[in-house]
Amino acid sequence: MATTIIEKAEKDKKINDTLVDFIQNNRKILFTVMLGVIVIFAVLIAAVAIQDTLQTKAIGKVEGLRERYEALRVEINEASKEEEVRALEDELKTFASGIFSYAGARAYSLLGNIYGDKKSWAEAQEAWTNAARKAPKTYLAPVALYNAAVAAEEQGSIEAAIALYTECMDFSDFPAAHRAQFAIGRLEESLNNYDAAIAAYQGVINNWQNEWDWVYLAQSRIIALNILQSKE
């Protein structure tokens, strides 16, 4: 037993000596590597801090643009406000195109609101779609996609509207998902795609059982479509 303990101690000493020799012989390289790691870490911290500062400033900027929109909203279609509205539109476009973040999405959403108020549906659809693409992982994305679908529907672009309604339902926390599902059924029905419409309405019944009004409406449409198909 004594021999074993001695051998182990000698072995540990050799390992320690080897490690000390390695550090001693490569101290300059190791120091350079450690310094490099420290510098990289410091740069990352600085980058995060700068990013946070820029984000805060961007949100403050877009909040100011929102306040200008709210002040104009009631009179947005008045001729006397046309120049002011156009200036706000141009400023929002410039701001949104240069910001890849939540603030940029907010700016595009404001543009969508302006175009929606003016019933410029093609521009509204584009703005809201851009808002969703700017911040695809925020709560704004499904809301913007839903609004884009409404704008597409207003133009009579039924297939585009169905695609946008479908996309906004990919977000599990979207509170209006059941409305989007019902809208898909309604639009499929308008295209005489009765099987697809029934499937969409059935989706409302299966997935949003607590939305009683919408479930009832979906059941009513399924019954009506089944009767219609039986007569054909």
Contact 116, 89 (CB under 8 A): no
- Alpha carbons 228 and 27: distance in angstroms, whole number: 85
CA within 13 Å, CB half, 176: 19
182 within some domain: no
Mean pLDDT of the chain: 82
Q: State the CB neighbour count (10 A cutoff) for residue 196.
A: 16
Range of the domain at 169: 2-175
Q: Report the CATH number at residue 30.
A: 1.25.40.10
pLDDT attached to residue 98? 77
119 within some domain: yes
Judge if pTM exceeds 0.85: no
pLDDT digits (tens, 9 = 90+) for 28-60: 664 554 544 433 343 333 333 334 444 566 677
